[in-house]
Amino acid sequence: MKTFLNTINGKSAGSDRTFASYNPATGETLGMVPHSSDDQVAQAVAAAKAAQPGWAALPDGERKALMMKVADLLKENSEVLAEWVVREQGKPLGGVGPDQVPGARFEAWGCEAWTRVPANLDLPVDVVFEDETRRDEMHRKPYGVIAAVAPWNWPLLIAIWQIIPGLRTGSTVVIKPSEYTSIGTLEMVRMISEALPPGVLNTVSGPGEVGAALVGHPDVDKILFTGSAATGSRIAEIAARNLTPTTMELGGNDAAIVLPDADPQQIAMSIFWGAFINMGQTCAAAKRIYVHESKYEAMVAALKAIATQMPMGNGMDAGVVMGPIQNRMQYSKVVGLVEKARQEGATIVCGGQEPGGRGNFYPLTLVSHIKDGAALVDQEQFGPVLPIISYKNVEDAIASANRLDVGLGASVWSNDVQQAKAVASRIQAGTVWINQHGMIHPMVPFGGVKKSGWGSEGGIDGLKAVTVPQVISIKKG
C-alpha cells in the first residue's frame, strides 16, 4: 500500500506513524498518510520562517509570475486532481461549464481560477491623507508564516483559497489537510511546489492534535481555518495564547426565502443545486427553505420531481451526479437528524431510508411540515437533506432566517429584484444571494457573521486579510 508524503522545505517527508485514507463510495483503502510528529510540525514551520524573508523580498512581478506557473501546473494536472477528489472526497467528476454538474472537475478548475485571479491583483500603496504639511501612505506587509487548516468537503479548492493569497502577498504557508481527505491535498502541494522555492509551501498531515501543534506554534504569524464551530473555538483558544490573529470560516445554516411572487417551477432547479451541491456538504449550501404558504405545496412537489431523478453512485461512473457522504461520522449525524424529524411528526417527502450496501450513500431527502425549533432546522445537517418550512408573512420569514446564532450565507427568491434586495438587506449573513445560492467568485469576498466566523477570503479583501497594514507618515518641507 503506497504511503503519500508531506512536503517540507521542498523535500518529501514521511513519518513513523501512518493512517489510512478511504474511498467513501466503496470503503476501499486508497493509501496511507503520514501522521506528522511534533518535531515535523516544528520543522515545517522553521522551513517556512527561513524561506519567508527571501520570498517577500522578491520583486512583486516575480511572485506574480510564479503564481501563474502554479496555475499552469494546476491546469496541467487538473484531471489527476479531480480524480483524487472523486476517490477521496466522493463528489462525482461532473463538469466545469454553466450547464455542467458542479463536481470534482469544477473543484480542480476552481483551483486554477482562484490562483490566476489573486496572481493578477495588486495592493498598491494607498495615500490615505495628504495636505501641505504631510503625506500618509498605507502599505500592506506580509504576516510572515501562515498556518492553514483545511476541511474535507472541498479539500483542494479551499486549500487553494488558503494558500495562494498568502503566497501572493509575500508570506509562506504550512497547511494541514483534513485527515479524511489528505492525499489529494498532499499530491496537489507536491505538484505545485515544483514552481516554488523550498520552504515557501509546506504540509503536515494527521488528526486534530497535529493541527493543534501547528496553530499553537509560536512562530506562526497568522492562522486560517475553515471547518466546524467547535474546532474553530478550540483553535481560537490556542491562538489566544500567542495572540495570533485568525481568519475563521465556521460554516452556517443558510436560509433561503421564497417570496410569494416567485414561481416554484422556474426556480426549483436553482434552489435544488443551491441546497444539494456536493451532497449538501458545503458551508454555504441552502440548508433550510422558507416558502410562502401560497406556494408551499407547489415548491415541495417541484423539488421532489428533481430529487427523485438524480442518479447517485460512485462518482467515477458515467452519468452519476450525486455521490456519498464523505465519512461515517457525518453520515450518522444526517441519519440521526432525519430519524428525529420523523419521530416528531415531520413528513419525509422522499428519501429518508438507509440503502445498505457499501459506501456512505444516503438518498436525497426532502422533509416537509416541519417548523423552527426542530433539530433538522436548527442544526447544520451538512448532508443530502433539506427541510422545507411554510411561512405566512415575510416578516416571519426574515425573523426565522435571523433567529439562529450563525450567518454565513442566505438567499431571497422573487420576480421583483427590488423587493428581494429590501428583504436581503435585513438578513444577518455575510452574503445574501438573490435568485441564486452559493454562487462564489474569486473576485468577491466571502465570509460570515455571528458564529459563522470572521474575516474574508476572495478578491482584494481576501488579500488584505493576509497582510498587515503599515502607515508611513511623511512630514513635508
Active site positions, annotated: 249, 283
What sign results for the dihedral spanned by CA atoms 356, 362, 365, 369?
Answer: positive
Location of C-alpha cell 520562517: 49
Strand ranges, E, within 90-131: 126-130
DSSP state of 446: B
Query: Is the CA virtual torsion 103, 105, 111, 112 positive or negative?
Result: negative
Sequence-ordered list of residues with C-beta below 8 angstroms from that of 334, at least 6 positions apart, any chain? 325, 362, 381, 382, 383, 384, 385
Residues 90 and 274: their CA atoms lie apart, in Å, by 18
Q: Is 450 exposed, middle or buried (0-12, 13-18, 19+ CB in 10 A)?
A: middle
**Other CB atoms within 10 Å distance of the CB of residue 473:** 10
**Where do we find the cell 461512473?**
317
Query: According to DSSP H, which parts of 249-353 are helical?
Result: 264-276, 296-307, 328-343
Distance of CA 154 to the CA centre of its chain: 6
Nearest to 283 by CA among 448, 474, 70, 129: 448
Residue 135 C-alpha from the chain's centroid: 40
The CA–CA distances, whole Å, from 48 to 9, 206, 423 equal 7, 19, 46
* Sequence letter at residue 272: F
Spell out the residues 6+ positions from residue 206 whose beta carbon is closer than 8 angstroms to its own. 19, 33, 34, 35, 36, 176, 179
Q: Cα separation of 376 and 382, whole Å?
A: 10
Instruction: Give the residue among 436, 380, 438 at the shortest CA–CA distance from 404.
Output: 380
Rounded Cα gap, residues 282 and 14, in angstroms: 31
Euclidean distance between CA atoms 182 and 229, whole angstroms:
21
Q: What are phi and psi of 210, to 5 degrees?
A: -70, -40
Q: How far apart are CA 364 and CA 200, in angstroms?
A: 42
Neighbour tally for 371: CB within 10 Å: 13
